[in-house]
Amino acid sequence: MALKYSITLSSFKNIESLEQTLERLLQQGYDAIEMFGEPDKVDLKSLQQIFNSFNIPVCGITGMWGSISTEGWKRHFLSSEPSFVESSQKYVEQCVKMCQSLGGEKLNICLFADDNLVPLDRNHTILSDDKKAPVLEKVIPILSRLSNFADDHGIQLLLEPLNRYSTPYCTTAKDAVAIANQIKQDNFGVLLDTFHMNIEEDSFEYAISDSDGLIQHTHFADNNRKMPGYGHIDFQSIIKSLSLIGYNQYVSFEPNLSYEDYRIVTKSGLDFIKSIENNLI
C-alpha cells in the first residue's frame, strides 16, 4: 500500500497566508494540496505562480457546496428551479477548467436539494431507495454531460455522498455507486468522506469494499470534524479496508481547524494515519 497525502486549503481560510500554509505543510510531509473551488474569487495566474514556487502539486479541487460557500445556496443539482440546476452545471464547468489550469485531476460533486424536495424532518429521516430514485434519475443525464466535459479537460468527476443533515438523496457509498454505475464513464467515480461515513454507513469496511473500482479519492476527518486521532473513528479499519482493495490514491484531510492549535494537529493527524499505514506493511 502506498498512499499519498494532501489536505484541503479550505480548512485554512482566514487563518494565515497561503505561503505560510504551503511552507509548513511541506515541512510536515504532505505530498500535495487540494484547492477550494471558488473560480470567481481567486486569481488563477497568481495561484499557479505560488504553487510552482513551492513545487507542491494540486491533486484536485474541493467543490464548495452548501453552507460552506456564500454561493452554495444556488448550487443545487436537485432542484425544481431551472436556474439553480443551470448554475450548478456552470459552476462545475468553471471548477473543471480551474482544476485543469492548476494541474489537478479530481473534482467532487455533491447533490444538494431544494428545501421543497427535502422531507420536513430532514435531520432524522432516512429515505428509502424508491423515494430517492425519482429525484436522482433526473440528474443522471446532467452528470453524464458534465462527465464528458470533464473528460475533455482530463479531469475526474467524483460523486461524494453526504450525511442526511446535508441531503437525504445521496448519503451512502451505495447511493453514489448506483449513480456511477448508471453513468458508466471511466472518469466518473466516487469520493468517500470518513466524517459522513461515520454517520451514515453501517460499516466502513463494507462501504469501501462495495466501492472497489470506483473510489478514486478520500476525505479524512474524525467524527468531530477534527484531524484523525482527535475523535473516535476507527481509522485502522478504514486504512486496512482501503489496503484490501488496493487503494493507492490520495488521502486528503478535510478538518475544521482552530487558530490555537492548527500547526500541531495538521502534523499529528498526518503522523497518526501514516503510522497506521506503516504498521500494515
pLDDT over 70, % of the chain? 97
Higher pLDDT, 266 or 16: 266
Q: Which residue has the cell 466518473?
A: 188
Report, as an integer, the average pLDDT of 116-122. Answer: 69
DSSP states along 190-235: EEEEHHHHHHH-S-HHHHHHHTTTTEEEEEE--TTSS-TTSS---H
Give pLDDT tens digits for 53-70. Answer: 999 999 999 999 987 777
* pLDDT at residue 120, rounded to an integer: 59
| Residue bearing the bigger pLDDT, 165 or 181 | 181
What's the predicted TM-score (pTM) here? Answer: 0.94
pLDDT band of residue 121 (cuts 50, 70, 90) is: low
Name the average pLDDT for the chain. Answer: 93
Does the pLDDT of residue 211 top 70, yes or no? yes
CA–CA distance, 98 with 62 (Å, rounded to integer): 11
Give kind and range of the element (H or E) at residue 6: strand 4-8
Report whether pLDDT(83) > 90. Answer: yes
Q: State yes or no: pLDDT of 161 exceeds 70.
A: yes
CB 223 within 8 A of CB 198: yes
Alpha-carbon distance 14 to 5, whole Å?
A: 23
Whether residue 256 contacts residue 219, with contact meaning beta carbons closer than 8 Å, is answered with: no
Does the pLDDT value for residue 123 go beyond 60?
no
Q: What is the mean pLDDT of residues 135-141?
A: 94
Tell me what pLDDT residue 126 has.
81
Greatest Cα pair distance in the chain: 51
Tell me the average pLDDT across 206-231.
97
163 lies in which domain range? Answer: 4-280
Of the chain, the percentage scoring pLDDT greater than 90 comes to: 83
d(CA 243, CA 150): 28
203 neighbors 172 (Cβ within 8 angstroms) = no
* Residue count (the chain): 281
Quote the CA–CA distance of 77 and 85 in Å, as a whole number.
5
Q: Say which residue, 114 or 145, is predicted with more confidence.
A: 145
- Of 195, 60, 79, nearest to 139 (Cα)? 79
- Please count the structural domains in the chain: 1
Q: With a cut of 70, say whether residue 259 has pLDDT above it.
A: yes
Kindly report the CATH number assigned to the domain that includes residue 264: 3.20.20.150
Mean pLDDT of 78-99: 95
Interatomic CA distance for residues 195 and 220, integer angstroms: 7
67 against 238, higher pLDDT: 238
pLDDT band at 256 (very low <50, low <70, confident <90, very high): very high
**Alpha carbons 38 and 94: distance in angstroms, whole number:** 9
pLDDT of residue 230: 96
pLDDT of res. 74: 85
Q: Please give the pLDDT value at position 124.
A: 64
Whole-angstrom Cα distance, residue 168 to residue 71?
Answer: 21
Q: How large is the average pLDDT for residues 7-33?
A: 95
Confidence of residue 131 (pLDDT cuts 50, 70, 90): confident
Confidence of residue 261 (pLDDT cuts 50, 70, 90): confident
- Residue 245's pLDDT band, with cuts at 50, 70 and 90, is very high
